[in-house]
Structure 1
């Protein structure tokens, strides 16, 4: 059996080598699905990451949430692989940590006040499991998170359920809904 690390590397490679035009189409499809979802429309406070270039671009999501009057909260890592979410405002200052922008200031929003968490990852299956970037931050944070969780899965991130089932660990947290792009793969 291949290791979880090698599966992660394979999918990161696929994300980095994605066709930019197809990725844009798939991204738009996923974002439209998100904006039409009941979870999005009912949420007042949304947790989302500031994406890296290889990931689905979360900038559109953040801007739409703010224009809709929703509060956006973004993660900040803490010692012992913990994290907290901080309100994103025009006064938020950032530092680069783990290759992504992370807030250094701002108001921490308690977990149970976040209505919807958009959970990133490297690979997602239709059964709600994901392979993350390997730090375990989200699994720890979501262990007692009771509100809605959604992941947005580009074609390059889709992993068959029978494969991901081989890599599920007891601490892995199932995402309540995985939105799959409808673009179709070009393999």
Structure 2
């Protein structure tokens, strides 16, 4: 593990320098676990990332060992997001032109606890400020505390987010649909936003 730590690189990279299929595979691997339990497809994930990263001022931060991505985080202006992401803010009359949306932040389990998550937030917040945003937001799936699928020792990230200065934004809930592992079809999932003034 020490050798891996020595060769770990975390950097903001340009869209042209990315292997979208490698990042799509990473997304699918991490999101398949708790709490998302997401069963995706490689083609869909690659297309999603390609569309997300075409937005002006979009940013992707990649953690890698050699050429292998082991973590990634994305961000782009809220105004460029899908309707389901923007809708709660538009309905509330929020100024989405000064709001930055943080997409996924995924990291393979063996690389957690090395402050990579902090680097992901540092880089995305810097990109948001550089783009003129004064607020950053992201959403996370809501799971019940007594969900029988919750693994023993599952980490709750709310403390980490609060330490980063984010707080729950209860007026902006939305629903996203995806197929869970082992399910026959997609179902809706409650997503709750967290926000921070920059």
| TM-score (norm: length of structure 2) | 0.29
Bigger RCO of structures 1 and 2 (CA < 8 A, at least 6 apart): 1
| TM-score (norm: length of structure 1) | 0.30
